[in-house]
Amino acid sequence: MSRRLDPRTMADWQIAEAAEESMLPFAALGEHLGLTDGEMIPHGRWLGRVDHRKVLDRLGGAPRARYIDVTAITPTPFGEGKTTTTIGLIQGLGVLGKQATGAIRQPSGGPTFNIKGSAAGGGLSQCIPLAPFSLGLTGDIDKVTNAHNLGMVALTARMQHERNYDDAALASRGLRRLDIDPDRLEMSWVMDLCAQSLRNIEIGRGGSHDGYRMASGFQIAVASELMAILAVTTGLADLRRRIGEIVVAYDRTGVPVTTADLEVDGAMTAWMVDALDPTLLQTLEGQPVFVHAGPFANIAIGQSSIIADRLGTSLADYHVTESGFGADIGFEKFWNLKCRISGLQPDAVVIVATVRALKMHGGGPPVKPGTALDPAYATEDLGLLERGCENLVAHIETVRRSGVRPVVCLNAFTTDTPAEERVVRRIAAQHGAGVAVSHHWERGGEGAIDLAEAVIEACEEPQEFRYLYEAGRSLRDRIEVIATEIYGADGVTYTDAAAAAASVIEGDPALAGLDVCMVKTHLSLSHEPHRKGRPRGWTLPIRDILVYRGAGLAVPVSGNVKLMPGTASDPAYRRIDVDVETGRVQGLF
């Protein structure tokens, strides 16, 4: 394939389109993975879902594969190729004759049509078919959106009816008064696009039959609590229980109002049932890849699902899963949330780095979405690179705290020089990490052999996996540990609202055990995106703490992170189109 497809002269979508001519049909892909006909749920000829219950029941659910997580350094706004590396590693393992699977997250329409693109990988390390993958796939994000918004419909309708009817009229309709406090709503609406103009809106304008008039807003769909539930759930009964525990608001006495109180939890679960089964796609070189759950570890859990990982670890010899953004947020959540819930423990962790990002952290010119990279990033500068490796070292230390030896993957760009590669190799090795320079973008699996061999070697080493903190520690203690030991902060401050929320959580036995899922910018180890490298002498400000009781998460919100991203001035949708002769989508990246 690498002899006829050249990523230096072809766009990602052109490579994917050419590769799709020879990809395996879904039935053949499933057969290659060892699935039976009854375990495959086709969605057309090329992709489909896998019935996870049937597979795990047949296999007993016992993991047999080596389990590998892929994370990264603090990225530039363009990302550093984490999914590309995930796919490249799977392909490299395949070249070495290993049976390998992967689990990646379904791309959100927000970044697909904005700056980052579809998250299918790139060059000769992609997941295909590209257009379905990028444009809704088998509908998981749509199901999350509809189920979430159904909860909002139930909440706002109930508020309207309680305003318009007295207790007797409500009782005649089989309802009791919930007395919802309009100033203490825990949910907003969701959509799967970056729409900053919908962050803050007013709803219910008109007459008494046009809804309850109040402030509201939108967040991006993949930041919904339902997406977090999809990532961490273990099956249908667990999903049904979690959805019923979602807190949508509080009443005027401070008592939580749940989806079960609104009697909408069953209907929300009905929307989500099919989404429990991961979708199965393939790499350019024909290895199986599960796609399940969503992105954005900065504002969500940002992990491929536990269900997908249980399938992969049961079916393969090596299973590669993906965590969002840098090790400070993506791997930290994989380590202390996902592994704690699933019981799975990694045999190796890959930290993706690029010379480009390391130079940025060393003091290079600003990297801004929608603008061309400064020529400094294509020119050798060993001093700039070495200073930027402070950021890499911070992420190596984070992974090593888990007891797992990391493997640094330098995702090679064509502008990198041998001297720059030597700097990264030396510093990574000095700090206890394995190192590989990988050319998977340019050469596919053949270019990732060194990375695959380094990962296999790391998997054979004895590990002493341990969590960052004990589960029984108080909420604020756990936040402090994450802030100081992972981000490098000197401490944590709280707004009055955040301190009050922390007190409520710590004082309620039903909430005190919630796991900590931090919301923080992905563009810095600190809460301020412009602070690059390894910032020192700062404190982490917590402005709010959200309760995702159904997902089992307390969500501290730091800095100025928005749960609804904005669309940039030069978004990707300007270059996406359809060939009217063939119907093929063009311009995705």
Task: Please identify which of the residues 71, 76, 83, 84 carries the catalytic annotation.
Answer: 84
> Active site includes 441?
yes
- Unique residue bearing structure tokens 């395996």: 24
Measured N-to-C along each axis, helices 236-244 and 265-272 cross at an angle, to the nearest 10 degrees, of: 140
Per-residue model confidence as pLDDT tens digits over 19-48: 999 999 999 999 999 999 999 999 999 999
Helices (H), 165-200: 167-172
Strand blocks (E) in 1-153: 40-42, 48-50, 66-72, 100-104, 121-122, 125-128
Contacts of 439 (CB under 8 A, 6+ apart): 412, 447, 448
Kindly tell me if the per-residue pLDDT of 369 is higher than 80: no
Q: What percent of the chain has pLDDT over 70?
A: 99
Write down the catalytic residue from 19, 26, 76, 82.
Answer: 82
Measure Cα distances from 433 to 50, 60, 229, 463, 486 in Å.
36, 35, 33, 13, 17
Listed in order, the ranges of the chain carrying CATH 3.40.50.300 are 12-138+275-460
Token pair for 359: 């130079």
| pLDDT digit string, tens, across residues 310-349 | 999 999 999 999 998 999 999 999 999 999 999 999 999 9
Domain 140-271 bears CATH identifier 3.30.1510.10: yes
Residue 451 parent element (H or E): helix 449-460
The 3-state DSSP class for residue 174 equals coil
Say how far residue 143 (Cα) sits from the centre of its chain: 17
Give the model's confidence band at 61: pLDDT under 50 very low, under 70 low, under 90 confident, else very high: confident
Residue ranges, comma separated, of all CATH 3.10.410.10 domains in the chain are: 475-558
Q: Exposure of 170 by Cβ count < 10 A (0-12 exposed, 13-18 middle, 19+ buried)?
A: middle
Residue 139: what are its φ and ψ, rounded to 5°? 100, 15
Annotated active-site residue 78? The verdict is no
Name the β-bridge partners of 318. 66, 100
Given the residues 441, 489, 498, 521, the one annotated as active site: 441
| Residue 26 falls in the annotated catalytic set | no
**Predicted pLDDT at 465:** 96
Q: 589 catalytic, yes or no?
A: no
State what percent of residues in the chain have pLDDT above 90: 90
Predicted confidence at residue 342, as pLDDT, reads 96
Checking if the pLDDT of 582 tops 60, the result is yes
E strand spans, 192-238: 201-203, 214-216, 218-220
CATH assignment, 475-558: 3.10.410.10
To the query of whether residue 338 is one of the catalytic residues in this protein, the response is no
pLDDT mean over 483-502: 97
Give me the count of residues in the chain.
589
Q: CATH 3.30.1510.10 in the chain, residues?
A: 140-271
Residue 82 designated active-site: yes
Instruction: Name which of 33, 454, 37 is nearest 283 in CA terms.
Output: 33
pLDDT digits (tens, 9 = 90+) for 373-390: 899 999 999 999 999 999
Tell me, which fold does domain 12-138+275-460 have in CATH?
A: Rossmann fold (3.40.50)
Give per-residue pLDDT as tens, 506-531.
999 989 999 999 999 999 999 999 99
